[in-house]
Structure 1
Amino acid sequence: MAKRRLVAIALLMLGGCGIAYQSPKVNPLLDSGAKVRVLEITPESVMVANRSSYVPKQLPEVFFATAGVGGTPRGTGAVPEPVVDFQNKPGTLQTRVPPAVPETPYSIGVGDVLLLATPQTGNTVEQLTGLLAASNARQGYTVQDDGAIAIPNVGRVQVLGLTLEEAENRLFQRLVENQIDPTFSLEVAEFNSKKVSIGGAVGQPTVAPITLTPLYLDAALAAAGGITAEDLDYASVRIYRNGSLYQIPLRDLYSNSRLEKIQLIDGDAVFVDTSYELDLARAYFEEQIRLAEFKQNARIAALDELQAEVNIRNRTLTEARENYMTRLELNSVERDYVYLTGEVDNQTRYPLPFGQSATLADALYSNGGVPTETGNVSEIYVLRSSPDPREFGALTAWQLDGRNATNFLLSTRFELRPNDVIFVAEQPVTKWGRVISQITPSLITSAANAASR
């Protein structure tokens, strides 16, 4: 009799298991009477689903700003003309030649202007007719006091002291790092960092730049309009270099071609003197030394000012970014979310990323994927309603059948939209197991009560 009662109780509880355990599922008919359209996720349906318009939210501009400071190097004006002072003529002049310098590739310095040429874009007609101006694809950048050039979308690139080839390699790496087409050419458009001053008995005192090709004494004198001294017996070319004074009589210079090919270096001062005493040359060189010191001090001050401004901008950008991240942690920033429910490791909401779209695979596998022991991989749904609240009944359930593992490739192409709901159904055996787990305690209690009677 007790066994019959126990069986009857068990049958009664099994018959009412629908009340004991309710599991969510996708019902083609809502309680409101509206229908749910279930569409299988296929390559064609993915294209249809991705057509819905969506603009991802963007990070504030402060995350894309850099602390670079524009501007050009500071100068001190033109070189003053030397004072002419005639002295007594000597008997003979001695020749003192500066030591030879090794020929090295040109190194980029502060004030140089680098020309960056990138491929032009345009239609075939424009390219054939030459309507695109070269300036559209050629941009000059001045090497600033901190030794860098500032390139839009790339940032500051340090080029001070590099050869042209080394600068191209460094710029190539920075373009690749920023995912920019690294097709370009680089050249020096203006040579402003290395100079030689020429004064005295010349046609026009000047400052000659040192370029990619070495600057020799004869070329420097020609750039100053040539020598105007009439008396060759007591005229000489004096070269001031690194604190030492060298002298070449004009007759020796004209009679020895090797002297004309003395290579000049940055900071040299060349003075054509028509007197024996060194007072005039010394005054000229002292003037050049003071001018160089003044320029150096001015550049140091400008560099300190530049560094201070960069530091201030860095602190401002860092503070703004930290404030935004704090607001993000406190959920005070408007975000777009997708919701995960059903048989997933953790029922939660997945924030859509800034600046780009997210896919079904991104959301699923950011949450541990689908538990294969309990989740029904044949019923993975993306529930999407119409953005119009008056059309709530217009609900589409995009179904991914994961029994064929190749279909998971489609999940990497299915783009999510704000307020999508990702639902994973449970396996039938999982539902049955949960029913048993709920009724087993009741069966044990009922059997115990029946046995006690």
Structure 2
Amino acid sequence: MKVNTTRRATLVGLVAVVATVSGCGLPRSGPNKREIFAGSVMNKGDAFIVTVNSRVTRATSVMPAYGFSDAFRKAGAVGSDTINAGDVLTLTVFENVKDDPLLGNTGQRVSVLDQVQVDGQGYIFVPYAGKIKAAGQTPDGLRQAITRKLDSQTPDPQVTVQRLAGDGQTVSVSGAVGGQGVFPIERPTRTLSAMIAKAGGVAIEPAVAVVRVTRGSQTGKVWLQDLNENPALDIALRGGDRIVVERDQRAFTALGATGAQSLVPFETQTLSAIEAIATVGGLSTSLADPTGVFVFRNEPAEIANQVLGRKDLRGDQRMVYVLDLTQPTGMFEARDFLIRDGDTLYVTEAPFTQWSKTINAITGTANAASSLASSSSSG
């Protein structure tokens, strides 16, 4: 009699547990399709839910346009022989005398003035010639100026001027390059691509490399691949330019029934929805609902108006784009729809998944109850 009472109590407990499991929410990766659609503006929510088609794809295919302004592109190449403040020069003077040269010791007809730096005002000092304006001149022009100054003091002086690598016309190169540093602008390195090569080239994948140039208060940037393919982007450099090579900072978030749930950096300049899904391991074959692939995005008003066929929206709008991969053109739409920086890619779970979880929960509870009953009867 006591055993029957225990079994009856166990059965009552089992029924109560089953009822509790059926009534409570089971663990899941996020909202289902019905809950997402409930947040639509049509249902007094705050998001516009739009099914992706070719028209929507065209309206939303907006990617960051990098490039340089006219101020960068129209600046001509720096003359490789132009002397600037900060440059270092080597001066060599040949005197046509044997016994008493002006600059050298007795019997010394050749005098070398090494490491002569052009000062901040653009001048150099040459013994017996005084201060001479060097900045803005070519080595040949400076040679003539020095010759004129010395000609009255030593017969027929012969002067040579060599411009070395000083800090007058230099740029800094940093970031993801083979060798960071400060480099002089010389004949082979007067353009952006040549200077990057001088710094050892890029140290990251070219597909995600962005080159940023700051000149004074202006900044421009360009994709490395575009720089390599378009000669018009290979701008001439100026002294003081700061060149930084960096990885593309764009990323999207993958959530729901995908192979991975994480913040995912872009690996190419453009990224389609189907490529984004593939990047995170595809849809989970045991969980995902291919009719419920969503892209959440804050869309600028101009694009939102175009997508919705309106003109009255102001400011960023919450948009939810829906992709149904089971439709005849579903895979093509996902292939053409572009993911943008900050997007959230979310894949809902199939309805069967929740049903299966419920059955598993009930079955597991029943097995536990059965074990409990067996233990009770044996005791």
- TM-score tier by shorter-chain length is 0.3 to 0.5
TM-score normalised over the length of structure 2: 0.43
- Whichever structure has more strand as a proportion of its residues is 2
Between structure 1 and structure 2, the one with the greater Rg is 1
TM-score normalised over the length of structure 1: 0.37
